[in-house]
Structure 1
Amino acid sequence: MSNISVSRSFRPLLLLFVITTALFITSRARFARWNVDADVLIIGNLVLFAAAAVSFYLFSRSWNSRNPQAILRTVYGGMFSKMMICLIAVIIYLSIVGKGFNKAGIIGCMFLYVLYTTLEVVILMKLSKQKKNV
């Protein structure tokens, strides 16, 4: 499996990022009525996309390895790094904003985390099946 195929597989994550960011920007008034800070969602979406990109980069580096455990370690390492990046982002947000944090925005970002992680796992499973068939 080539790196081109891995980079093509990243497109659904890019599409998810573009669609959700456009939704957050165009629906600011609606989110405000629901007491959700759209800026928190936009920044959270950006952090999650960057974390998914790092995870995918790590995965693509190990893709040509003959050792299946190395690929599995990289996938788990990518997910762990994504979790740590998100945890650090939340800590930074809470330290900047203090008690006036937007709970609904953080819950929305948690939902985005689940979306990104689910999509990433589905993509990695498809890539794994393609590698078996090659």
Structure 2
Amino acid sequence: MVDCDPLDSTRQPPPILWTLGLLHGELRRLHGLALHDYLVLGALAEAGGRPVPVARLTAFLQESGHRMSALLKSLQAAGLIERDRRDGDRRTVEVTLTDAGRARFTDAEKTARAVLGRRLVRGRVATRRSPAPG
């Protein structure tokens, strides 16, 4: 937990917190994705088109089942994922990335790499006052 108010204008937030906040903001602004959405789409993209059980996504993000269900519902409503019950085991719900989801993730990944690339300097997180690497 942060021992100071990150919104206190007299103090600078920790560099990692600031970087994640910037990334979240850019993903929202440019792609309509929250950081959690980006992580879910990325996990699905890594699966290479294979269905991923919801339980695996829940473990990856260390979220509650209720929170994961809400995240997935939102992504499904946006047409970025599909949820289906596994053939042969109707208790298991699996998620796959749609073509629109893959395209959105590909664009968001470019943004994430750019933001993180500007903020990371030789394996360390840059502070806001540090110039971006040229």
Identify the TM-score tier after normalising by the shorter chain: 0.3 to 0.5
TM-score, with length taken from structure 1:
0.35
TM-score, with length taken from structure 2:
0.35
Relative contact order higher in (CA < 8 Å, ≥ 6 apart): 1
Bigger helix share:
1
